[in-house]
């Protein structure tokens, strides 16, 4: 049961909201926390009972480790090591064991076999959340919370399966605040607005583009240059709309309940450098790696070369976090090299009007070349599009094949076949129109549809993001009508939804 399902919208969410606010209205605060925890557990249970058991074991072990620190604080260092190892081993077993065995076999010529292991949805998110807690707990930066509050923090369903990676304090402090549990019309309206916008991003745009994207990356060896470009652009917008759409829905549901999740997206495609992009894309993952990997490794305090190495380590780990494969590692390494390039200070982007250039560089006090922001935006976007070939390709051979077809011009006309995977209800009217004229223009309609959807997605990237829209919403009749149309359109489109991309991470 995802956010983009009839069951969630028509059954789960109404029961959740009515029960939550009714129990808090009666001042049954502990019961309300238990209700929200159970509803979150049920939400996760719908993806598989075995997944739920793994999640419960993870919670129990981490909470017991916290309890040991409370009673024997002198063991905090060893408990921190045990806690981190336990969580990483859990993640390794379910996510990386197959990848590890495949590489051992490739290097040694052995024929080791591992049984097929089904990875629990969202394991990377709830594991990293618990690592942050156990490390902070051992460093005396977190208290030993009551079990119910800790369990609620871990299983809180808006963030459970696809992030953001919220730190314990920023959520549990809100759970403690009884004032936030009162029904608030303004919060509810903002939350509903955010949910509708996110739902529209997902089911109207991202899911439509996914047809062409999936087909294109499956047919890598048959694509032509034009089709490769179209598929790369379609995927670049699909992954943004899919992930940010989920975050919008998660933020929306959380706001309806009275709580705020940390911002995970802030218009990343408006970035003018790779470094800025990573201050806007998957922001909670970036801050996790900065706090728990980059700074412990020495950050920028141990010399220029060490700084470069630390940055590359963080980005390789970020790539590996997203998936068990060399394609993800290459993607992370490419992003790390781009960030290091920004840090060198050879080329910099002009600051925004009215703002001073405050960046510090590794080898130069001032950049050797300053380029306009518009050029920086274009180059940053271009490099991110190229890097996503690694991110989406099935393996390195497919990624290399994609690049060959991108940089060595071919045109056998595969665009029509790829675009035909956008056979959606909205195409019915133009297809019937041409049919009545005695014309078979299906291919043209499909290609035009693909171009229109890519253009609409690109346009959205240049506008205000959902957070900005929600914060400044005036709820005029025009806006309410627009939201109603978006919701009805999205709701009708739910029958063709696909799973969220980040479920696999």
* Strand 347-349 versus strand 369-371 pairing type: parallel
Q: Which one, of 262, 259, 210, lies nearest residue 236 by Cα? A: 210
Rounded CA-CA distance 364/160 in Å is 43
Tokens of 100: 């590890």
Angle at 326 between CA 320 and CA 328, to 5 degrees: 45
Largest CA distance in the chain: 83
Q: Which one, of 51, 45, 39, lies nearest residue 1 by Cα? A: 45
Q: Note whether 320 and 390 are within 8 A (CB).
A: no
Classify the C-alpha dihedral 310-315-319-325 as positive or negative.
negative
Q: Which one, of 147, 120, 149, 128, lies nearest residue 83 by Cα? A: 128
Rounded CA-CA distance 190/473 in Å is 8
Active-site residue flag, 168:
no
Q: Note whether 279 and 359 are within 8 A (CB).
A: no
Q: Note whether 96 and 120 are within 8 A (CB).
A: no
In whole angstroms, how large is the CA radius of gyration of the chain? 24
H helix or E strand, kind and range, residue 208: helix 207-218
- The per-residue b/e assignment along 108-122, b for 16 or more CB within 10 angstroms, e otherwise, is eeeeeeeeeeebbbb
Rounded CA-CA distance 505/503 in Å is 5
Among 111, 144, 282, 322, which one carries the catalytic annotation? 322
Burial classification of residue 226, based on how many CB atoms lie within 10 Å of its CB (0-12 exposed, 13-18 middle, 19 or more buried): middle
Q: Which residues are catalytic?
A: 322
């Amino acid at each position: 049961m995802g956010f983009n399902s009839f069951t969630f919208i028509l059954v789960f969410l109404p029961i959740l909201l009515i029960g939550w606010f009714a129990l808090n209205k009666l001042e049954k605060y502990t019961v309300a926390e238990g209700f929200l925890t159970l509803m979150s557990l049920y939400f996760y249970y719908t993806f598989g009972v075995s997944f739920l058991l793994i999640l419960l074991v993870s919670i129990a072990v981490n909470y017991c480790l916290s309890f040991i620190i409370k009673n024997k604080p002198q063991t905090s260092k060893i408990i921190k090591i045990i806690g981190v190892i336990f969580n990483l081993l859990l993640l390794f077993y379910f996510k990386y064991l197959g990848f590890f065995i495949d590489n051992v076999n490739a290097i040694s010529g052995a024929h080791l076999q591992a049984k097929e292991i089904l990875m629990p949805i969202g394991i990377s998110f709830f594991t990293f959340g618990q690592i942050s807690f156990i490390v902070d707990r051992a460093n005396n930066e977190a208290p030993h919370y009551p079990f119910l509050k800790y369990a609620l923090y871990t299983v809180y369903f808006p963030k459970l399966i696809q992030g953001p990676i919220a730190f314990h304090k920023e959520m549990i402090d809100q759970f403690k605040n009884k004032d936030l549990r009162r029904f608030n019309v303004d919060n509810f309206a903002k939350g509903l607005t955010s949910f509708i916008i996110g739902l529209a991003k997902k089911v109207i745009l991202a899911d439509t583009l996914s047809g062409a994207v999936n087909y294109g990356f499956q047919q890598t060896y048959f694509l032509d240059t034009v089709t490769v470009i179209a598929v790369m652009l379609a995927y670049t917008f699909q992954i943004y709309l899919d992930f940010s759409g989920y975050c919008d829905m998660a933020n929306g549901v959380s706001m309806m309940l009275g709580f705020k999740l940390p911002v995970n997206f802030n218009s990343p495609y408006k970035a003018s450098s790779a470094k800025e992009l990573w201050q806007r894309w998957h922001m909670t993952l970036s801050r996790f790696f900065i706090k728990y990997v980059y700074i412990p490794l020495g950050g920028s305090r141990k010399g220029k070369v060490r700084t470069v190495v630390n940055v590359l380590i963080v980005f390789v780990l970020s790539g590996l976090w997203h998936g068990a494969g060399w394609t993800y590692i290459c993607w992370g390494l490419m992003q790390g090299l781009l960030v290091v390039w920004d840090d060198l200070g050879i080329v910099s982007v002009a600051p925004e009007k009215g703002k001073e250039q405050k960046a510090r560089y590794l080898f130069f006090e001032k950049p050797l070349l300053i380029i306009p922001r518009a050029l920086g935006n274009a180059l940053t976007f271009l490099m991110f599009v190229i890097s996503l070939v690694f991110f989406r390709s099935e393996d390195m051979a497919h990624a290399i094949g994609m690049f060959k077809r991108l940089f060595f011009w071919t045109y056998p006309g595969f665009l029509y076949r790829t675009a035909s995977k956008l056979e959606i209800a909205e195409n019915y009217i133009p297809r019937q129109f041409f049919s009545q004229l005695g014309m078979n223009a299906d291919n043209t309609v499909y290609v035009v549809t693909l171009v229109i959807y890519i253009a609409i997605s690109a346009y959205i990237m240049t506008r205000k993001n959902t957070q900005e829209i929600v914060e400044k919403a005036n709820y005029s009749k025009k806006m309410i009508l627009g939201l109603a149309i978006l919701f009805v359109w999205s709701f009708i489109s739910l029958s063709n939804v696909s799973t969220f991309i980040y479920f696999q991470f």
